A and B are shown apart, each in its own frame.
Chain A
Amino acid sequence: MFRDATLRDAIAAALAPADSESGSLVESQDVRADFAMDEDSFRSFYDRTARGLWAYLARVTGDRQAADDLLQDAFYRFLRAGTEYESEAHRRNSLYRIATNLARDARRRSVVRPDAVVSGEDIERVAGADSAGSLDLNADVERAMSRLRPNERAMLWLAYAEGEPHVEIADRLGLKVGSLKPLLFRARRKLAGLLRGKDSDHAR
């Protein structure tokens, strides 16, 4: 991994010839001005949200590689949107809406190749005394989620993994709250049935 200073130097070096060739068509200050937030605010927001968003993308797409790519793309588009946000919730909703749309587009373009999100190499990285139980549960959830439609996965994830209220879920997925409730109910029954088919002890 790059340290920040090293990375900045590397990028500055990479940009230098481009400046001389293009006659400095676009100054970096101009680009920075287009972003919705300054660097410190962005980094703080990214640190708070990146892991959660990655988990969401990994489950919605079922493809770890796609989640990696979409994560960076989502944050880039979020920055480029140039919108002023009223609150942290508003900002998060916007980021998740962008990520959801990107995942939908990726699926349409067939760049998503569902596979096991958690691989054997990850087992050592999962901390905690009951990591074996967590990984079993993770495998069950992965199998069950793979049998749902992507939109169902997204709404279930936001409702139960993220604990978001219906209004926020509807906003993130571009649905009306009234339409969300029956869809969520059906998806919940479906996933509960799939999970119970494997193991009925998770509700404890």
Chain B
Amino acid sequence: MHGECCFESEVLAAVVECRWPERVESELRVHASGCAICADVALLAVALREDREVLKSIAAPPESGRVWWMAQLRARREAEKAASRPITAAQVFGAAATAWFAGACFGASSDWFRSEFVRLASGAESAGIGVFLTSGVGLLLLLAAVSIIILVPAAVWLAVGKD
């Protein structure tokens, strides 16, 4: 349920046009003093419009030229970000494929790895770690392991971390 008064819009118009209460017909003033709806409308319209003027006078919006150029800058950045999104997806795919390939290679050569590891352990025991590292295969194995451990997470971080 809601009440309406046929003079409500007239009272509001008088406030908006700064005619309220002095420059309105006395009948409207008399009506408003006895009508709860029009009295509320007059109260709120006067209070809120005055409040609006106070707020407008203290508002310090940035200069229009600045807003325009900042909007351009932001639009440009967003467009660049949107344009680079497929590249990022390709980078993530590449990093995942690399990791998969490295894992597959490692799995295929695991027997060989185990034998090299046994040789490492026995070599380290008998002649120290230097023997293993000076053997070409051992050094290659070590470098591959380090690459997988360090480079793959780094590549994934670079690809995903940008966003």
Give the B-binding residues of A (Cβ under 8 A): 1-2, 4, 7-8, 11, 14-15, 18, 22, 25-26, 28, 30-32, 34-35, 39, 42-43, 46-47, 50-52, 54-55, 58-59, 71-72, 75-76, 79-80, 117-118, 122, 125-127, 134-135, 137-138, 140-142, 156-157, 159-163, 181-182, 184-186, 188-189, 191-192, 195-196, 202-204
Contact = CB atoms under 8 A, between A and B. Distances in A.
B46 A203 contact: yes
B49 A26 contact: no
Q: Is the interface of A mostly helix, strand, loop or mixed?
A: helix
A1 B12 contact: no
A34 B53 CA distance: 35
Contact of A39 (B46, B52, B68): B68
B55 interface: yes
Contacts of A117: 55
Contact of A161 (B49, B72, B79, B83): B49
Interface residues of B, number: 50
B54 A126 contact: yes
B54 A135 contact: yes
A63 to B, nearest CB: 13
Interface of B: 1-4, 12-13, 15-16, 21, 39-59, 61-76, 79-80, 83-84
A11 B73 contact: yes
Contacts of A51: 56, 59, 61
Contact of A141 (B48, B58, B72, B76): B48
7 contacts: A8-B69, A28-B72, A30-B79, A31-B76, A72-B70, A76-B70, A76-B75
A50 B55 contact: no
B43, B63, B70, B84 pick with most chain A CB within 10 angstroms = B43
Given A134-B53, A140-B47, A4 B63 contact: yes
A46 B64 contact: yes
Contacts of B83: 25-26
Given A7-B65, A184-B2, A195-B43, 15 more contacts: A11-B73, A22-B84, A30-B79, A47-B64, A59-B51, A118-B55, A134-B50, A137-B54, A141-B47, A156-B48, A160-B12, A161-B49, A182-B2, A195-B47, A203-B39
